[in-house]
Every structure is written in structure tokens, then in C-alpha cells.
Structure 1
Amino acid sequence: MGTDNWKGHVNGILYGIQFDRALDDSVVTRVADGVVGGLYPGDRAETLDALDQALRYSGPLNDQAETPHSEESIRAFLAQLSTALNARTPS
């Protein structure tokens, strides 16, 4: 998956959390449910690949889909989301 592709997945996720005050477990669950339920582009495997690439990326993740969350908070949230998606059985 190229940079544009994984960034598109991540930007979609960031867009979906931009109004959440805290990136807590309920937000992780809501986004994971949305990924599995088809509310985000791509399937679970594509999203996991995008999250893996995003977490390895050294540049900013909040540069296109701005949120009030810090880079550190976003990275922690994406890591939690990856863990949550990995724990789910693929359909």
C-alpha cells in the first residue's frame, strides 16, 4: 500500500474522531466497529495495514485531517485501534 493509500485510510479515521474530546476506549470501540461494519473505506485487513504503516511513519499524521489531538495522542489511539482490530475475528 502506497503512502497516499494508507494516509487516506488514516485521514478517514482522523476525520471520524475530530470532535471526540478524549480518545478513550469507547472511541476505539466505535471506530473498530465502524471498520468491521464497513463505515470506513477498505476492509479490516487494509485498515490494519494502513495503521501499521502510519505507526512506522516518522512524519506527522495530523497534517491533512486536523484534529485537536496531539500527535502523541493520535499515535497512541491508532496503536489501540490496531490492537482492537487484531483481536477481532475477520468476517
Structure 2
Amino acid sequence: MYFQNVVCTYYKIGSDSLYSILDNVIINHLDKESRLVVAVNVNKNPFSQLNYGTGKDVSTETLKDAGEPLLIKWYTDSYVKIPVLK
């Protein structure tokens, strides 16, 4: 599996800390009953436009135009599609 811009958190054996990395990830094998943690983030960089959801042209929107913060609702029937190659 190939994931783009993923935050991976892992525990280093013999350490008291959790480490996080932001990177592209390829997973060759996932053990049975393994768990994936999905973090949703906004792509904020100087080379992309940020849509504040006002309905105006994105290139003319400003932070003053923004209303309430974005709320992501996760329902029981919501899912993340993860491609698996055999």
C-alpha cells in the first residue's frame, strides 16, 4: 500500500517516547488485527490556495471571510478506502 503525506507515529523499543514522521509510506505487510490511524489535515503551504468555504472565488477569499471552523463528522457508515494490491 502507498500512502502520500502520512503522519506515522511509532514507539521505539527501549525508549519512553513516541515519534511522529510526515512522509510517503509504503506498507509491504500488515498483520491480522493491525490498526491504522488516519489523521486528516489541511494542506497549508505557500504554493496552494486555501478554500474557506464562503462560496466566493478561492483566490479572493481571506481569513476574514471564513465563518465557523470546519467540522468533520464521522458516522458509523463512514469509511476510508485503502487500496490493497495482491
If the TM-score is normalised by the length of the shorter chain, which range does it land in?
under 0.3
Greater share of strand: 2
Structure of larger gyration radius: 2
Higher normalized contact order (CA 8 Å, seq sep 6+, divided by chain length): 1
**TM-score, normalisation: structure 2:** 0.21
- The structure where helix makes up a greater share of residues is 1
